[in-house]
Amino acid sequence: MTEQIYLGVDLGAESGRVIAGCWDGRRMRLEELHRFPNGPVAIADSLRWDILRLWNEIQTGLTLAARRFGKSVVSVGVDTWGVDFALLSKSGELLGQPYNYRDPRTRGMLEKAFKRVPRQEIFAATGLQFMELNTLYQLLALQRNSPEVLAAAETLLTMPDYLNWCLSGARVSEFSIATTTQCFNPAKRTWAFDMLEKFELPTKIFPEIVSPGTKIGSMRQSLADRTGLGSINVIAPAEHDTGSAVAAVPTSHTGRSNWAYLSSGTWSLLGVEVKEALLSPRTLELNMTNEGGVDSTYRLLKNIMGMWLVQQCKRAFEAHGRTWDYAELVRVAAEAPALRSLVDPNDDRFLNPPDMPAAIQEYCRETGQPVPETEGALVRCALESLALKYHTVIGSLEELTGETIEVIHVVGGGSQNNLLNQFAADACNRPVLAGPVEATGLGNVLVQARAAGEIKNLGDLRGIVRASSDMREFVPDAKMSQMWQEARGRFGELIAKRKGRSN
């Protein structure tokens, strides 16, 4: 058959791209059409996303797609990170540049929120991990600092929802991205209106929620003419990038919780797929989160501060005059002494420090550990600490689900880091399957193909991923078993001592 083309707009915290999913009836092949940088823009005392530049780059990618594939293009879908949002007025005016989730205005907002609505009540209504960057606390900061902006808002659209509005004019929110906001009730499967009213937030701004795979409209005529694509369909995939990535995990055990996924990138999102959100007191105590997935599933997971630690170390090294690429950093980390110093990656100090190496050194100094001084020692500390955090979270997931996790599937850009993959296998003492790197993009375009009737169900979709991708297996190194066992004990003691600071 002639290949059918599904376009994916995939935005991450460091870069964005427009990709083509080329479907031949058996396999999905990805082709990158346009890649562009992304990152926060500092203005006055705030961090923002340059959403207008991003939209301009997306239009460039769509134009290239029209030139490359013409009338073979079936649809387009968008995925991005969670929590951040744009506000539209009644007439469709953008009310300011969207904030970046690392903006400092939400610092201390958790405690202020708990004084208005108790922590337990917020969790019962939303099932979400408590992080100051969540949409709820961003809205509360806006309510405090800029009430006139909130008063002028007619619609809240998360980042991918806003880009869908740019594409089609639809003002809707897709299920998986809505669940990242801490404004969504997983038991009622709609917005947490009762809780929002207690915070005196305007409930009218929250739009209709649609399921992954929904056709939300056709491309705006002006955009269709400008790009040359014509009036193609606009599909809401799993718009949260991790939702798309998990849809493309190449497991053959769909419907069970005996496997875990690790979406590895700037953030590490480690969890299992479950049929219903888990809202127990123990889930709250462990500060786990319930986020939506394909086919009304939930992703029970923990957000871990991922490769961000290494990315920010690299940035600091370069600011001091030494240029590194990631391959070089992994090499010098592999040569550094093993399991010497450990940190909790989710400690608040690592969220957006001015100097990541200094923050790591400060943590080690405060906890009486050897202070890593070299680039290799700092990166190794970050990678080993991530792997040990994975082990802790795996234990929590097994406790909550009652199932033994037999294998960890690592997907996303971080799946290329063989050293971290091996550390994960060693720390968690179970096999790790790495790949596909392009899980998010594959999940995006395959959900679109399913919406077009080309794929029957989620199991078949994952079978196509297995047929379309290469995977690598990492098994625990028996020679390092004793050292990792001792390190697991030390890491557990660190977490227990500092539990009041971060979970």
- Number of Cβ atoms within 10 Å of the Cβ of 39: 12
Contacts for 493 with CB less than 8 Å, ≥ 6 apart = none
Residue 497, pLDDT score: 80
Q: How confident is the model at residue 168 (pLDDT cuts 50, 70, 90)?
A: very high
Q: Is the pLDDT of residue 310 over 70?
A: yes
Residue 503, pLDDT score: 42
Provide the CATH topology of domain 251-435+471-503. Nucleotidyltransferase; domain 5 (3.30.420)
pLDDT digits (tens, 9 = 90+) for 41-76: 999 999 999 999 999 999 999 999 999 999 999 999
Q: How confident is the model at residue 252 (pLDDT cuts 50, 70, 90)?
A: confident
pLDDT digits (tens, 9 = 90+) for 136-165: 999 999 999 999 999 999 999 999 999 999
pLDDT digits (tens, 9 = 90+) for 360-376: 999 999 999 999 999 99
Q: Is the pLDDT of residue 432 over 60?
A: yes
Residue 1, pLDDT score: 61
Residue, of 17 and 253, whose pLDDT is higher: 17
Residue 499, pLDDT score: 66
Residue 498, pLDDT score: 67
The domain locations on the chain are 82-214, 251-435+471-503
- Tell me if 82-214 shares its fold with 251-435+471-503: yes
SS3 letters for 325-342? CHHHHHHHHHHCCCCCCC
Q: Is the pLDDT of residue 500 over 80?
A: no
How far is Cα 289 from Cα 186, in angstroms, rounded to an integer?
11
Residue, of 257 and 153, whose pLDDT is higher: 153
Residue 253, pLDDT score: 82
Cβ(373)–Cβ(323) below 8 Å: no
Q: Is the pLDDT of residue 255 over 80?
A: no
Considering the candidates 84, 103, 241, 347, report the single residue annotated as catalytic: 241
For 238, the 3-state DSSP assignment is: coil
Integer CA distances (angstroms), 29 to 4, 19, 26, 264, in order: 11, 10, 10, 21
Start-end of H helices in 277-355: 281-285, 308-319, 326-335
Rg from Cα positions in the chain: 22
Residue, of 300 and 256, whose pLDDT is higher: 300
How far is Cα 410 from Cα 391, in angstroms, rounded to an integer?
14
Overall average pLDDT of the 229-250 stretch: 97
Contacts for 157 with CB less than 8 Å, ≥ 6 apart = 85, 86, 87, 88, 164, 165, 171, 173, 207
Residue 256, pLDDT score: 72
Model-level pTM greater than 0.85?
yes
pLDDT digits (tens, 9 = 90+) for 374-404: 999 999 999 999 999 999 999 999 999 999 9
Among 284, 293, 285, residue whose Cα is nearest residue 261: 293
**10 a catalytic residue:** no
Q: Is the pLDDT of residue 502 over 50?
A: no
Provide the CATH topology of domain 82-214. Nucleotidyltransferase; domain 5 (3.30.420)
Average pLDDT over the chain reads 96
